[in-house]
Amino acid sequence: MPNLILAINPGSTSTKIGVYRDVDEVFSKTLRHSAGDLAAFTCNNDQIDYRRQMIVDALTEHGLSLQDIDAFSGRGGGQCSHQSGTFRVNELMVQEAHDEKYASHPALLACQIAYQFSLATGKPAYMTNSPATDEMDELARFTGIRGVYRTCYTHALNQKEVAHRYAEAVGKPYEQLNLVVCHIGGGISVTAHRCGRMVDTNDIFNGDGPMAPNRVGSVPAKDMADICFSGETETEVSRFIRSRGGLYDHLGTFDVMEIKQRIESGDKYAKKVYDAMIYQIAKYIGSMAISCGGIVDQVVLTGGIAHDEYLCARIEEYVRSIAPTTVMAGEFEMEALANGALDALKNGAKEYTGIPIWNEKMLYE
């Protein structure tokens, strides 16, 4: 008997939902949240009832109720570093998300809403491959500062889904491939998938990797120190690093369609900045080839900006000596949430313990 799975993916101004009958989509919908609606709430957690009711109403519009759903699958966020795969949403996971222990983002509402649905129906709730999924090699963690280590914080949900889809398309096990997967969206992650593990990646949250539409990427340390001591507050600098840098700082917008139109209209600076971002993506692909032992079977480009044929063609030209390129544009997060829940229903889920999978002490053991 097929299972009905409800996938829940909250963002800053919308909540994406989808109902799947096993792997087949029954319906999907993006529930929009206007600035005026969100202004009524003082924090992310205050939005739970509002977003939850919109989800219930959307189910009703399609002739479904919560009781019809066999499993709830929420986007990850707000967890400590953990193994890849699907986890049962438990009280600890919900509490850490509610307390914003590790991050602050509307995505943290997903496991909380899914858990409430689970309590109301007796059906299970799951979380699959959160951004804190950690499979990094130990040497990839080091920086030039003792006590400061690189963390694995990436678009793991879409990265893993795309890697598995590519493996299926070529008829090879994911565990037997070396891939460099690039998620190119508002944030950009370039990740080495070596034999089924994400062994190295850039930290999309804390200013690492190529510059992105709204993130600074890697910056010379002394220059960043100068910015920090220029009179800006810690909050202002963090906001700049995570949401006001990159294309936005150069061009006043992170809308790639607008930037492309400016380039077509003859804006030479816009073209230089956009080309620089493309160059930096390609440069990080080259670095991740080393993490794959110098042998890469395929470079895979995904994310919303991978719809841009110019960007993909330029990256392919840069990296053709490393490996051929496949474009899988867009995001497969909703499908990944459904697939993770379906696998958990069939094979069981992992238990979230709140114990980070890696800590500094392990370097000395």
Work out the burial of residue 307: count CB atoms within 10 Å of its CB; fewer than 13 is exposed, 13-18 middle, 19 or more buried.
middle
Tens of pLDDT, residues 282-298: 999 999 999 999 999 99
pLDDT per residue as tens, the chain (365 positions): 899 999 999 998 899 999 999 999 999 999 999 989 999 999 999 999 999 999 999 999 999 999 999 999 999 999 999 999 999 999 999 999 999 999 888 999 999 999 999 999 999 999 999 999 999 999 999 999 999 999 889 999 999 999 999 999 999 999 999 999 999 999 999 999 999 999 999 999 888 999 999 999 999 999 999 999 999 999 999 999 988 999 999 999 999 999 999 999 999 999 999 999 999 999 999 999 999 999 999 999 999 999 999 999 999 999 999 999 999 999 999 999 999 999 999 999 999 999 999 988 888 87
Tens of pLDDT, residues 183-192: 999 999 999 9
The domain limits of the chain are 4-133+334-364, 138-331
Class of domain 138-331: alpha beta
The sign of the CA dihedral 162, 168, 169, 171 is positive
Tens of pLDDT, residues 32-86: 999 899 999 999 999 999 999 999 999 999 999 999 999 999 999 999 999 999 9
The yes-or-no answer to whether 4-133+334-364 and 138-331 have a common fold is yes
* Closest of 284, 288, 328, 296 to residue 177, by C-alpha: 296
In CATH, what number does 4-133+334-364 get? 3.30.420.40
Work out the burial of residue 67: count CB atoms within 10 Å of its CB; fewer than 13 is exposed, 13-18 middle, 19 or more buried.
exposed
